[in-house]
Structures are given as C-alpha cells and as structure tokens.
C-alpha cells in the first residue's frame, strides 16, 4: 500500500471543509446576535419611554386630583403645560383622557382642537377597563411609520375607592430603532455576501479535488448497472480517493468476469426451466416467490406479475393448512385441489429445500405436476372395479343360494325346482349381458371396432323403431309422435344407432307409470338433428342429471337392478352418439319425467349427397 503524503491526505481536505463549516456557523451566530441586538434596542427604547411616562403619569395624577379655585389656571391648561415639558423627539404625542374617554389635554400643538372630544383609541378603553398598562406597535396613519403606543391608567390614590380617573396615552417614534437595525443589517448582509463569495470559491476549489474522482466512479457505477464493464475510472492521485479508484477498477474487472459466468449459468437455467414440462417455483428464505417458469404459470392459471414476491403458501392455497416452515420440512408430495364445481383440477407439489453448506435455509424449490387425468383414471378404475365386483357378486350370490337349495333336494320338488332354475337362468343371462356390455365398452375405449355407415332417411328409421316398441309394449303407455313431414337423411351405423334408441326407449318404458305418455320427436338446429325422447316417469334429481351417462350409475339402484339393468346402457349410448359426431344429454325434473336429447349431422334429402 502506497504511503499518502500529508498535503494529499483526505484528512487535510476534510479539515478545510470543517473550516468552511465553521465560517458558515459564525455567520449563523452573527444572525442570532443581530436578532438579540434588535431585541435589546427595542427593550432599551421602551424602558426609556416608560421612565419618562412614569414622571408624566405622576404629575398628571397630582394635577387631576388637585382642588381647583379661581386663582389657579384650569385643569386643561395645567395638563397642557405638563405635557409640553415632557415632549421630546422620541415621543410623537401624549394625550390625557378622563374615565369617560374624553381628551383633557394633548401635547400635539397642531391638534389642540381635539381637546374635549372623545378618544377613539381602543387601547385607551381597554386600559381603563382592565386598570392596567397596555402597549402595542402599530403604523401611524399619517406618516405610515411604526409607532409604539402605550396606555397607562391613572388611579385615585387619595380616595378610599382607588378608582381609575383617567389614562395617559403615548405614541413614541420606535421607527428610529428599526432604521438603526436596517442599517446594521445592510452592513452585516454585505459582510455575509463577501464571506459567501469567498466560501463558495474555496468550496469549489476544495470540493473539486474530491468530487471529480467520485463523479467518475458514479458514472462508472451507472455504466456497470447497464451492463457496461469496459469503462475505467481515471486515477487523479495517490490519496485515499485515488486508491479507491484503483480498487474500483479492480472490482470492475472482477464483476465483469463474474457477470459473464453468471449470465452463462442464467442462460442455461432459463433454457432448462423454459423447456421443462413441469412447473418450477423458487422462493427466498422468507418464502416469497422469486422465480417461476411458464409451465408453472399455466398450471396455476396466473400471471407472473401477480405471483412474484407473494408467499408460496398463499399462491398454492396452502396458507390455511401449512406455514412456510411446514413446507420446508415437508418430505411427501402434497396434492393441490384447484377443482371447480364441475371441473376437476388437481396438481401435485414436491418440495425441495435450498440450503447452504452451513445448513442455513436459503429458499425452497417447488415442482408442480398436473395429475388431474391420473387421479381421474385412478378414481374411475377404483369405481369400475367396485361396480363390476358388485354387479357380478349380486347374481352370483343369488345363483349360489338357489343352486345350494337345489343340491339340498329342492330339485325333487316339481313346484319349486322350475322356479329356482328359472331364477338361475335369469341371473346367468344378466351376467352375460353385463359381460357383453363391458366387452363393447372395452372395444370402444380401445377403438377396436368399425362402424358400417349408410345413408338412410331418419324419419322412416326412427318410425320403424317406435313401431316395434309400440307393438310389443305390455303396460298402458301411450306413444306420442311429434315428427316433421319433411325428410332428413343421416349417415349412420344403423345397428349401433338402433341399439342407442332401443336403450333410451326401454328406459322410458321402465320408468313410465301406467296411463303415462312417451313423446318422440326431432327438430333441426344448426345443421344438426336434435332427437327427443321424453317420458312422464319419476324424474331425476337435479344434482344427478349430469351423471346418468357414467358407467354403472343408477339413480334408483334397487329398482334398476330388479328390472335387469346393468347401468351401462346410457354410457354405451354416449360413446355411440359421440362417435357419430353428435352429443347426448338429459333434462329432467324430479317427479315430472325425463327427456333424453341427442344430435346427429343430417342432409336435407338424399339427392343432396350426389350434387
């Protein structure tokens, strides 16, 4: 380290600065003394006036209390004589006023006419009323100069009551005091101005030696903040600031190297994060988000502006269950349920702690995965296995019971044996239907089936199916047809669509009461046929309408099972209709019946397909 010479030392420069500060401090002290001088001059002036007024006050009181006779001059003349004796250059005017505010005498030779008139000065009235001396500084209305006004009550000291018999009103020329102060202020201001000029010149010369290298370092720091590390600070000397400039240049080189390394690592990290399919969130040691990639924003359905600097527990909606400290010690993944009322949406969060070598926790890394489909598949698989097991267990249990009864000798009873065998056969057929439906759904799921499309007139196709059910129905149910006369053609697999309509009409017949109606019809909406099959059955609760197309779902399980249903018919119907490019849905009101709708693409007439 180089040795700094005495005269180039920054300590000497600081001493010079302190000297300048002392000069400025002396100027401030001078202003303070000027203020004190003003106070003292005013006080001395006022004390001088008060002393003379005390003499005037005594003489006036004696004159006002003196008994008058014809040999003595009048009281007004005596008072006027006294006032003339005490008139000086400092006192502009002295008035004597009785207790009725009437002027008894005045020292103003030019205004003797006011003797005997009423005094208008408010300070006189207040002084007589308060029986105390009052004073104030105001402007003279004639000359516009400041005057010191004083009013002193005159008290009867001879009589027993000690009442106020009048007052002395004095206007003194205090403007001379202010003129003296102004002159002193002008002299002092000139001295301050000269000292300021000298101070500024010295300040510029001294400060320049310090501010120039500091200014260069400031410009370099600003350039560094913009990423420019090529600029260097000029070294002006070998003092402390010069050594600081040398160290600053070394720091610039080191920062440039570190910036290059950091930028390369940042680009690698940004490339990795942007190409990851999983969401990644990083926090600081307080749990606030400092980094989040695009997949994480998409998974959270949020923006970068609203997530950065927010607590991660709040963003992940875990703040009600876990604190940031809990997440740090979290070993197992946590499922985040962002599901809406009708849309499931589940994320899985895995947490990893960022720690220094000392073990100090520096943040938290969270990796997000969308497991909605996985959870949905797992749930459907569990429900499917449970439903299939339940559906198979019921007929097998029934068959087992009847076969055991037959094995125990019931086959010898001619009345019971046929019934038992009939039940066993019915349950066997039910299991066969269930297995066939499951195989059909399996083929649909794996798309291992083919559709044989043909162009048919939907009016006739739909009518034939309705006729078949109307001829074979057993209960007292009336079919109402609301079919248009115009012909519409559809390109369908007639076997598959027949199976769909058969299933819907079968369900309508099962749940329709005797004397009820089943209505059939279709309309045209947006190049689609909308087919309607409606019954007057028991209806479906509103919360269950959207689930009747799920596999194995039954609104009334006991009744559906007793009627031989497998719970897969409407699920198969949905797969079939969607394969044909349409949609199927239900509308129902509990106790009012149910209506099934499905749509199909259509052509107006058969010739249109060839034109």
For the cut 70, the answer to whether the pLDDT of residue 445 exceeds it is: no
What are 123-128's contacts with CB under 8 Å, separation 24+? 123/149, 123/151, 123/169, 124/97, 124/151, 124/167, 124/169, 125/101, 126/151, 127/151, 127/152, 127/153, 127/167, 128/97, 128/99, 128/101, 128/153, 128/164, 128/166, 128/167
- 210-237: b or e for each residue (b if 16 or more CB lie within 10 Å)? beebeebbeebeeebeeeebeeebebee
Residue of higher predicted confidence among 289 and 395: 289
pLDDT for 383-427, tens place per residue?
666 666 766 676 777 778 878 887 887 777 777 888 888 878 877
* Cα–Cα distance for residue pair 512/264, rounded to 1 Å: 74
- Asked whether the predicted pLDDT for residue 114 surpasses 70, the reply is yes
What pLDDT shows up at residue 531? 92
More confident residue, 348 or 213: 348
Q: β-strand 478-482 against 517-525: which pairing, if any? A: parallel
Cα–Cα distance measured from residue 515 to residue 537, given in angstroms and rounded to the nearest whole number? 11
Q: Is pLDDT above 70 for 158?
A: no
Question: What is the pLDDT, as a whole number, of residue 72?
Answer: 63
- Per-position DSSP letters for 309-357, written without gaps between them: TSBHHHHTT-TTT--HHHHHT--S-EEEE---SS---EEEEEEEEEE-T
What is residue 446's predicted lDDT score, i.e. its pLDDT?
59
Report the C-alpha gap between 539 and 590 in whole angstroms.
4
Return the pLDDT at 27.
Answer: 74
User: What is the rounded average pLDDT of the residues 279-308?
Assistant: 88
pLDDT at 604: 64
- Give the tens place of pLDDT for each residue, 451-472: 788 889 999 999 988 888 888 7
Using a pLDDT cut of 70, give the percent of the chain over it: 82
**Phi-psi category of residue 97: left, alpha or beta, with phi > 0 → left and psi -120 to 50 → alpha:** beta
DSSP state of 416: T
Conformation bin of residue 148: beta by default, left when phi > 0, alpha when psi is -120 to 50:
beta
Longest dimension (CA), the chain: 174
Q: Which residues pair with 137 in a beta bridge?
A: 148
Domains annotated for the chain, with CATH where assigned, are: 13-173 (3.30.450.20), 276-370 (3.30.450.20), 376-446 (1.10.287.130), 454-609 (3.30.565.10)
Query: Does residue 32 surpass a pLDDT of 90?
Result: no
Pair 494, 454: CB distance under 8 Å: yes
Provide the 10 A C-beta neighbour count for residue 561. Answer: 17
What is the average pLDDT across 313-323? Answer: 88
Out of 114-123, 201-210, 276-285, pick the least confident: 201-210
Beta pairing class for 346-355 and 334-337:
antiparallel
pLDDT the model gives residue 611:
35
pTM over 0.85: no
Q: Quick one: pLDDT band at residue 553, thresholds 50, 70, 90?
A: low
pLDDT per position as a tens digit, 231-260: 777 777 777 777 888 888 888 888 888 878
Residue 569 in this model has a pLDDT that exceeds 80: no
Which residues lie closer than 8 Å to 345 by C-beta, 6 or more apart?
337, 338, 339, 372
Q: What is the mean pLDDT of the chain?
A: 78
Higher local confidence (pLDDT), 31 or 67:
31
Q: Looking at residues 175-185, what average pLDDT do you find?
A: 82
Range of 7-16, 181-190, 262-271, 482-491 with top mean pLDDT: 482-491
Q: How confident is the model at residue 519 (pLDDT cuts 50, 70, 90)?
A: very high
What pLDDT does residue 175 have?
Answer: 81
Tens of pLDDT, residues 85-113: 666 677 778 888 887 878 878 877 777 77
Q: Interhelix angle for 458-472 vs 494-511, to 10°?
A: 40
- Output the DSSP codes for 506-565: HHHHHHPPTT-EEEEEEEEETTEEEEEEEE-SS---GGGGGGTTSTT--SSHHHHHHTT-
pLDDT score recorded for residue 559 = 47
Report how far residue 170's alpha carbon sits from residue 194's, in angstroms, rounded to the nearest whole number.
Answer: 43
The predicted pLDDT at position 192 comes to 72
Residue 103 and residue 125 in contact, taking contact as beta carbons nearer than 8 Å: no
């Amino acid at each position: 380290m180089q040795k700094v010479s005495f005269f180039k030392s920054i300590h000497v420069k600081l001493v010079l600065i302190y000297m300048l500060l002392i000069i400025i401090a002396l100027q401030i002290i001078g202003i303070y003394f000027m203020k004190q001088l003003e106070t003292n001059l005013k006080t001395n002036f006022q004390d001088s006036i008060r002393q003379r007024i005390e003499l005037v006050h005594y003489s006036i009181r004696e004159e006002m209390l003196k008994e008058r006779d014809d040999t003595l001059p009048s009281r007004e003349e005596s008072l006027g004589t006294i006032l003339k004796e005490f008139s000086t250059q400092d006192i502009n005017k002295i008035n004597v006023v009785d207790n009725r505010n009437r002027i008894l005498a005045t020292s103003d030779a030019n205004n003797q006419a006011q003797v005997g008139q009423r005094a208008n000065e408010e300070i006189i009235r207040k002084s007589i009323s308060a029986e105390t001396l009052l004073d104030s500084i105001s402007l003279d209305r004639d000359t516009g100069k400041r005057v010191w006004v004083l009013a002193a009550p005159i008290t009867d000291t001879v009589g027993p009551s000690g009442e106020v018999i009048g007052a002395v009103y004095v206007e003194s020329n205090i403007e001379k005091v202010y003129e003296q102060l102004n002159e002193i202020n002008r002299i002092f201001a000139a001295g301050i101005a000269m000292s300021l000029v000298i101070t500024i010149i010295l300040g510029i010369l001294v400060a320049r030696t310090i501010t120039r290298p500091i200014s260069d370092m400031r410009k370099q720091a600003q350039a560094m903040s913009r990423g420019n590390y090529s600029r260097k600070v000029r070294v002006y000397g070998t003092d402390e600031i010069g050594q600081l400039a040398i160290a600053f240049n070394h720091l610039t080189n080191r920062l440039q190297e570190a910036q290059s390394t950091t930028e390369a690592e940042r680009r690698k990290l940004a490339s990795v994060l942007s190409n990851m399919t999983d969401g990644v969130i990083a926090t600081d040691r307080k749990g606030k988000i400092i980094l989040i990639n695009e997949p994480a924003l998409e998974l959270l359905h949020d923006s970068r502006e609203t997530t950065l600097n927010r607590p991660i527990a709040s963003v992940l909606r875990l703040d009600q269950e876990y604190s940031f400290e809990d997440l740090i010690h979290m070993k197992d993944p946590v499922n985040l349920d962002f599901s809406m009322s009708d849309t499931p949406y589940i994320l899985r969060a895995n947490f990893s702690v960022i720690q220094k070598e000392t073990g100090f926790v520096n943040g938290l890394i969270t990796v997000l995965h969308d497991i909605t489909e996985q959870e949905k598949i797992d749930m459907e698989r569990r429900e499917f296995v449970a439903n299939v097991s339940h559906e198979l267990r019921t007929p097998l249990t029934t068959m087992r019971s009847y076969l055991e009864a037959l094995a125990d000798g019931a086959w010898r009873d001619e009345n019971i044996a046929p019934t038992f065998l009939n039940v066993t056969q019915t349950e066997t057929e039910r299991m066969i239907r269930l297995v066939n439906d499951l195989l059909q759904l399996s083929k649909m799921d794996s798309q291992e089936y083919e559709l044989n499309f043909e162009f048919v007139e939907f009016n006739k196709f739909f009518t034939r199916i309705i006729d078949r059910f109307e001829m074979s129905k057993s209960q007292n149910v009336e079919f109402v047809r609301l079919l248009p006369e115009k012909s519409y053609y559809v390109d369908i697999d007639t076997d598959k669509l027949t199976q769909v309509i058969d299933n819907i009409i079968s369900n309508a017949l099962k749940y329709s009461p005797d004397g009820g109606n089943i209505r059939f019809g279709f309309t045209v909406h947006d190049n689609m046929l909308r087919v309607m099959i409606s019954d007057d059955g028991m209806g479906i609760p509103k919360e269950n309408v959207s689930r009747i197309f799920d596999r194995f779902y039954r609104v009334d399980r006991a009744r559906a099972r007793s009627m031989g249903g497998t719970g897969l018919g409407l699920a198969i119907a949905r797969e079939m209709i969607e394969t044909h490019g349409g949609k199927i849905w239900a509308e129902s009101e509990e106790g009012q019946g149910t209506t099934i709708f499905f749509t199909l693409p259509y052509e107006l007439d058969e010739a249109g397909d060839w034109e």
